């Protein structure tokens, strides 16, 4: 189930790595003697605004069919952050993961409305992880996760991120491990299936300021098995050259004694002449309650595409 929409909406950015350098609840905790942390006093996450009200103006916006070509080249700059505030009994955990990717991408082959194989030249692919019992800026891991140039093609899929892409270097040498998983997270689904979210927004002919509720079919197109909630699509901004769509999700669900509250706001900016995606922004706040535990997370992602 693709419940965390940020992964689907930003196929161009990888999911934050979750690290457990301290025992999880129920295990012996090396700092149980320390004073219990009160996560309600930790720095608060930003508040996401309510979905917009519909105020349509002007004519419906119609985008052309997207037609990528062999030889298309663009720069992809992506920044993401993931912060977790966790409490179970007297045990707490704080994690902050920040990533920065600066990549040059060239399309090697295409399949209808999406690239099928790409060459990726890495300028920067850096990740920093800070983790402790309370908010900290001291990095536990600080590393480059990709170096050099890769060729990325679609994998067989099947539910595991490592299966989403086949990665090679010059001469066709297969790349495995962390590098392969990062590139699979960045490109795998799009290379194999295309981008279902941008297909959705391109298929809608909405006016500036118009807000529509997504149908069940729309929800399945972008998240597979959606959680119950309010899903809306709107045109947040438009001018002669670009149009920006916004997707809002507010949902609460209870499964297996775990109640999850989720609020997501994402924008997709496209070029009106070519239907190319120019910019993706996403914010996701999710809180899970299970018995006496609270897992509160907030993530942001920004990806900018500059076509050569």
Q: Residue 276: give its domain's CATH number.
A: 2.30.230
How much of the chain, in percent, has pLDDT values that exceed 90? 76
Q: What is the pTM of this model?
A: 0.88
Across the range 282-299, mean pLDDT stands at 96
Confidence of residue 222 (pLDDT cuts 50, 70, 90): confident
Comparison of pLDDT for 17 and 222, the residue scoring more: 222
Q: Is the pLDDT of residue 14 over 50?
A: no
Q: What is the mean pLDDT of residues 97-105?
A: 98
Q: Is the pLDDT higher at 23 or at 102?
A: 102
| Cα–Cα distance for residue pair 74/308, rounded to 1 Å | 5
Question: Is 35 contained in some domain?
Answer: no
pLDDT tens digit sequence for 132-162: 999 999 999 999 999 999 999 999 877 677 7
* pLDDT at residue 124 in the model: 98
Count of domains observed in the chain: 1
**Band of pLDDT at residue 225, cut at 50, 70 and 90:** confident
Place of tokens 């959705």: 200
28 pLDDT higher than 70: no
Taking only the tens place, the pLDDT of each residue in 29-40 is 444 446 678 999
Q: How high is the pLDDT of residue 161?
A: 72
Residue 161 lies in a domain: yes
User: Does residue 38 fall inside a structural domain?
Assistant: no
Q: Is residue 31 part of a domain?
A: no
Tell whether the model's pLDDT for residue 189 goes beyond 50: yes
The confidence score (pLDDT) of residue 213 equals 95
For residue 157, tell me if it sits in a domain: yes
Is residue 24 included in any domain, yes or no? no
Is residue 58 included in any domain, yes or no? yes
**Residue range(s) defining the domain that contains residue 86:** 5-16+46-307
143 within domain boundaries? yes
The pLDDT of residue 223: 73
Report, as an integer, the average pLDDT of 210-217. Answer: 94
Averaged pLDDT, 81-96 = 96
- Is the pLDDT at 12 greater than 60? The verdict is no
Residue 280 vs residue 229, higher pLDDT? 280
């Amino acid at each position: 189930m693709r419940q965390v929409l940020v992964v689907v909406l930003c196929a161009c950015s990888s999911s934050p790595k979750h690290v457990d350098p301290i025992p999880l609840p129920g295990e012996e905790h090396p700092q149980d003697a320390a004073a219990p942390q009160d996560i309600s006093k930790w720095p608060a996450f930003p508040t996401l605004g309510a979905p917009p009200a519909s105020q349509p103006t002007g004519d419906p916006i119609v985008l052309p069919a997207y037609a990528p070509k062999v030889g298309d080249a663009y720069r992809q700059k992506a920044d993401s952050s993931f912060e977790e505030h966790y409490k179970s009994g007297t045990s707490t955990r704080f994690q902050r993961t920040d990533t920065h990717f600066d990549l040059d991408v060239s399309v090697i082959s295409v399949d209808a409305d999406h690239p099928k194989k790409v060459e990726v030249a890495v300028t920067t692919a850096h990740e920093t992880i800070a983790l402790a019992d309370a908010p900290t800026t001291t990095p536990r891991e600080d590393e480059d996760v990709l170096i050099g140039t890769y060729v990325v093609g679609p994998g067989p899929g099947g539910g595991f991120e490592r299966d989403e892409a086949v990665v090679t270097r010059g001469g066709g040498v297969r790349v495995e491990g962390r590098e392969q998983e990062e590139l699979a997270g960045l490109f795998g689904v799009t290379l194999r299936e295309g981008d279902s979210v941008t297909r959705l927004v391109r298929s809608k002919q909405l006016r500036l300021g118009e807000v529509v509720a997504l149908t069940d079919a729309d929800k399945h197109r972008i998240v597979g098995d959606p959680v119950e909630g309010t899903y809306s699509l709107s045109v947040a901004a438009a001018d002669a050259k670009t149009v920006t769509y916004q997707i809002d999700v507010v949902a609460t669900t209870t499964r297996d004694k775990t109640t999850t509250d989720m609020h997501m706001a994402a924008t997709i900016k496209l070029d009106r002449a070519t239907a190319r995606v120019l910019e993706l922004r996403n914010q996701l706040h999710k809180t899970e309650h299970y018995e006496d535990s609270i897992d509160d997370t907030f993530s942001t992602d920004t990806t900018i595409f500059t076509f050569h």
